[in-house]
Amino acid sequence: MTASPSTYWRESAKLRGFLIRVAASRCSPSGDPEDIVHEALVRGACYSRLDMDRLPQFLVTVVIRLCIDENRRTAVAVRMARDRRLFPASSQDPSESVCDRAEAHWVRRRLANFSPRDRKLVSMVTDGLPPAEIAKVLRTTPQGTYSALYRIRRRINDCYEY
């Protein structure tokens, strides 16, 4: 037997607490039981052939199925977050990475003629270390680090091939 909307909502309100407990026991921690129950109640309100004599069974079934859907979405999201193969491809233009590699090879060839200390300095700069930390590692002053980098840049620019 179908009922008026006001009867549906009145009877559903009586079941709300029970449905929240059902959802809380079935959903993953990331799922919100209240949201799931509210979704089930809205779906029930939209179902035109709902038999009010079977309202509790209907709503429990909908809540359980919504929990299963939420658990499945959560599991897929966790798997995707852990598997690097599922990350989208880089949006960087492939020619950019080719140019970056070519430039890195060019710099490596230039640095081959430099002292081990200069190569270490350039390596620390490319790793993102600030000059103050580089100065501590190399036992020099930050100004000495800046000066050494300046000299290295000059030497690289002097042997630039056109």
Name the residue with higher pLDDT: 14 or 47. 14
- Which range has the top average pLDDT, 100-104, 105-109, 151-155? 151-155
Determine the Cα–Cα distance for residues 9 and 19; give it in Å rounded to an integer. 14
Determine the Cα–Cα distance for residues 162 and 148; give it in Å rounded to an integer. 25
pLDDT score of 21 more than 90 = yes
129 SS3 class: coil
Q: Model-level pTM?
A: 0.51
Determine the Cα–Cα distance for residues 71 and 25; give it in Å rounded to an integer. 12
- Which range has the top average pLDDT, 13-17, 45-49, 156-160? 13-17
